Amino acid sequence: KAVRPDLIILKVTASHPDGFEAAAALKQEPSTAGIPLILIGAQEGDQTKVRALELGAEHFLPTPVETEELLARVQQSLRRKRSALPAPSLASGHLQVFPAFTLVQMLETERRTVRLVLTRGEEHGELIFVDGAIARAVQAARWGEAAVYQLVTWREGTFQVAPLDGALQGQRDIVVPNQVLLLEAMRRLDEVPGLRAKLPDPAKPLVIPGALRSSLAQNLPSDVWALASLLDGTRGLNQVLAQSPFDDWMTLKALVYLWSVRALTSVGGGSERRGCTPANGCQV
């Protein structure tokens, strides 16, 4: 799963089923099902060949294998795999049909080197894939993993898949495997409603008091200050989330903390703590 080969050659025998079991496991796993298989083994009647083909092997070659025939079968399988991939020209569709999460898995399985451009209303984002792995990502003020966590949860909007400029293929900001990123994104998504419930009415602008803002401006890292600077009494929760350099989960975690220690208030809300109690982790 970590290193997806273009093709797999397995040795099988009727008396030792390990090769057949490996073939079955590869074809049952969605992330490896598209990898062509060539099985080689003793021709123990037609049953061995039939079983190999039933498992989804491209070819079964009896031993001893002729080198020229094996190379020809390998080339044939790889040509067939390449012809089955989508054309490298622009492809597009709706996220309601193919959510971003699904698109990431498809592009990984096909080991594509492409740009995936996502649009949701006025929001835009881009994921760069190199050999099926997410290498770079950007969405509004977010980049890297923060942009990935935001984008892969989109289920509405449109997408475009475009060829990747050769100059961008060597640039990589993200080294975490796709599956790890997807699992973490889903975990964060599950926690977002609970975090939102600890904050005030989303329509009320959020503000950090002036004296504290001055202190924070001098002591916070630039990305954290980029979030804190949004809390100036002109933006409600949804606007802050849209403009934050962090993904929704990380932004909400920071806001809940500031709210719980009374370093954050809402304009017109005073000390209101909607849904904020010791039971759900807030300090009152």
67-81 confidence digits (pLDDT tens): 888 888 888 888 877
For range 43-47, the mean pLDDT: 67
pLDDT at 15 over 70: no
When pLDDT is cut at 50, 70 and 90, the band that residue 272 belongs to is: very low
When pLDDT is cut at 50, 70 and 90, the band that residue 137 belongs to is: very high
Residues 6+ apart with CB under 8 A from 30: 105, 109
Helices 46-54 and 18-28, interaxial angle, to 10°? Answer: 20
pLDDT in tens, 181-224: 999 999 999 999 999 999 989 999 999 987 787 777 677 788 78
pLDDT at 250 over 70: yes
Q: What is the pLDDT of residue 157?
A: 94
Specify the residue for token string 């949804």: 238
Distance CA 284, CA 278 (A): 7
When pLDDT is cut at 50, 70 and 90, the band that residue 44 belongs to is: low
Residues 6+ apart with CB under 8 A from 88: 114, 163
Distance CA 256, CA 251 (A): 9
Contact in structure between 132 and 4 (CB atoms under 8 Å): yes
Q: What is the pLDDT of residue 6?
A: 86
pTM for this structure? Answer: 0.62
Adjacency order of strands within the sheet including 8-11:
8-11, 37-41, 59-62
pLDDT above 70 coverage of the chain, percent: 86
